[in-house]
Amino acid sequence: RQPDLECALLVLGSGPGGYSAAFRAADLGLDTILVERYDSLGGVCLNVGCIPSKALLHAAEVIDEAAAMAAHGVSFGAPQIDLDKLRGFKSAVVKKLTGGLAGMAKARKVRTVTGVGQFVSPHELEVEGKDGRKLIRFEQAIIAAGSQSVKLPAFPWDDPRIIDSTGALELKDVPGKLLVVGGGIIGLEMATVYSALGSEVTVVEFAPQLIPAADADLIKPLQQRLKKQLKGIHLKTRVVEAKAGKDGIEVVFEGDSLPAETVYDRVLVAVGRSPNGKLIGAEQAGVAVSDRGFIEVDTQQRTNVPHIFAIGDIVGQPMLAHKATHEAHVAAQVAAGQKSHFDARVIPSVAFTNPEIAWVGVTEREAAEKGLKIGVGKFPWAASGRAIGIDRTEGFTKLLFDETTHRVVGAGIVGPHAGDLISELALAIEMGAEAADIALTVHPHPTLGESVGMAAEVYEGTITDLY
């Protein structure tokens, strides 16, 4: 069969991985086609992930801040929420970014093809779109087909009262009683939004800790604040059954801390994401996919089929947009003949909760498990002029140093803007900075960023009177 389209490089999926790869490849001179099943480019991150969630979290933060100022003599009264307008704000943010991508694709002459793509051979992809099937022949391909929410089997998913993060971000209404199943980053971000908008939110988490990947001390200030805002946080507890009832979703819990409430207006399931590796006909191209749906790659992002690369959520943890983007650039550069490879020492993680939690590199738990000899420099924000000035002294900045080399190997920050502050430490780790490099760097005063320099000073022993 003759192909309908031909290209040097085909990119499957238009999330942060896919669009970054397509744009870089086109910039390097490759004739590129970008295939996406939805009309809007941008993937999960721009359409139903990072971006809309942060727009709504901004609203939640403003509501929270305004309420907190009442104690300091500035009162705004109860928030008046116009849900249509708020939804409109969120959609406009998404549209601005996804529309921008369409423009950037056009400017680079990246051809976009809309429809569901399936490999039919090592050099061909068939796309089923609204206007029929198209066969695309490619010299090389980059798979960037991403991931989707895990759908727990014990739930009646055909009931609209059971939602995943995509449903939660639609913001159809503000449920009276919301159960969030999963106390990871996505679950807690959504719990923060809905609680600020007025829902009574209960969170259940199977692990003994919220956001299990982060160090326990980072979670404590968040948990203390959430305890005041949410109806309940139930650790070491899981949902064993959820049934569609007349007055709500009836839930059966099992575990150490059972919520008193068993009927909810809405149940948000946020228990993780699974890769889309099994949904793209990878076997027809000879690309190996693991039982769980991941595609294994080397440091050049090549799969077992040398002319087919894979990037982003589909190649493994951490499933984060900034990891996808960097892998995308490597894959595109290698496809264009450059000697590139992915060698990031660390990839930062951020929970955009209130307070934010951010960490990078080795955690204290990992260090203990691996028997690494590390020293800790911890600066409590209770000693930061800026944190006191914004009445957010619960935060802290913690740096972990290799005890032999004094190089920074990890960091954790909890407090407002932790996500912005962590970048300095990702750079410090990448550059092999020692404690003295960080301590002697002049940080502007009064900023929360000063806490990074101060934490290094605590480790160095030049700040001694904190505790």
Which residues are annotated as catalytic? 445
Q: Is 167 annotated as a binding residue?
A: no
User: Which is nearer to ligand FAD, 255 or 281 (by Cβ)?
Assistant: 281
Q: Minimum distance from CB of 113 to ligand FAD (Å)?
A: 9
Q: Is 132 annotated as a binding residue?
A: no
User: Which is nearer to ligand FAD, 116 or 376 (by Cβ)?
Assistant: 116
User: Which is nearer to ligand FAD, 119 or 401 (by Cβ)?
Assistant: 119
Q: Minimum distance from CB of 295 to ligand FAD (Å)?
A: 11
User: Which is nearer to ligand FAD, 48 or 409 (by Cβ)?
Assistant: 48
Round to whole Å and give the CA distance between 143 and 35.
Answer: 10
Q: Is 233 annotated as a binding residue?
A: no
Q: Minimum distance from CB of 341 to ligand FAD (Å)?
A: 18
Q: Minimum distance from CB of 241 to ligand FAD (Å)?
A: 25
Q: Is 34 annotated as a binding residue?
A: no
Q: Minimum distance from CB of 117 to ligand FAD (Å)?
A: 4
Give the chain as a 3 state SS string.
CCCCEEEEEEEECCCHHHHHHHHHHHHCCCCEEEEECCCCCCHHHHHHCHHHHHHHHHHHHHHHHHHHHHHHCCCCCCCCCCHHHHHHHHHHHHHHHHHHHHHHHHHCCCEEEECEEEEEECCEEEEEECCEEEEEEEEEEEECCCEEECCCCCCCCCCCCEECHHHHHHCCCCCCEEEEECCCHHHHHHHHHHHHHCCEEEEECCCCCCCCCCCHHHHHHHHHHHHHHCCEEECCEEEEEEEECCCCEEEEEEECCCCCCCEECEEEECCCEEECHHHCCHHHHCCCECCCCCECCCCCCECCCCCEEECHHHHCCCCCHHHHHHHHHHHHHHHCCCCCCCCCCCCCEEECCCCCEEEEECCHHHHHHHCCCEEEEEEEHHHCHHHHHCCCCCCEEEEEEECCCCEEEEEEEECCCHHHHHHHHHHHHHCCCEHHHHHHCCCCCCCCCHHHHHHHHHHHCCCCCCC
Q: Is 82 annotated as a binding residue?
A: no
Q: Minimum distance from CB of 456 to ligand FAD (Å)?
A: 27
Q: Is 101 annotated as a binding residue?
A: no
Q: Is 4 annotated as a binding residue?
A: no
Binding site for ligand FAD (CB under 6 A): 12-18, 35-38, 43-45, 49-50, 53, 116-117, 144-147, 165, 186, 276, 279-280, 312-314, 319-322, 324, 352
User: Which is nearer to ligand FAD, 87 or 243 (by Cβ)?
Assistant: 87
User: Which is nearer to ligand FAD, 41 or 400 (by Cβ)?
Assistant: 41
Q: Is 322 annotated as a binding residue?
A: yes
Which segments are annotated as binding site?
Answer: 54, 117, 182-189, 205, 272, 313, 319-322
Which segments are annotated as binding site for FAD?
Answer: 54, 117, 313, 319-322
Which segments are annotated as binding site for NAD(+)?
Answer: 182-189, 205, 272
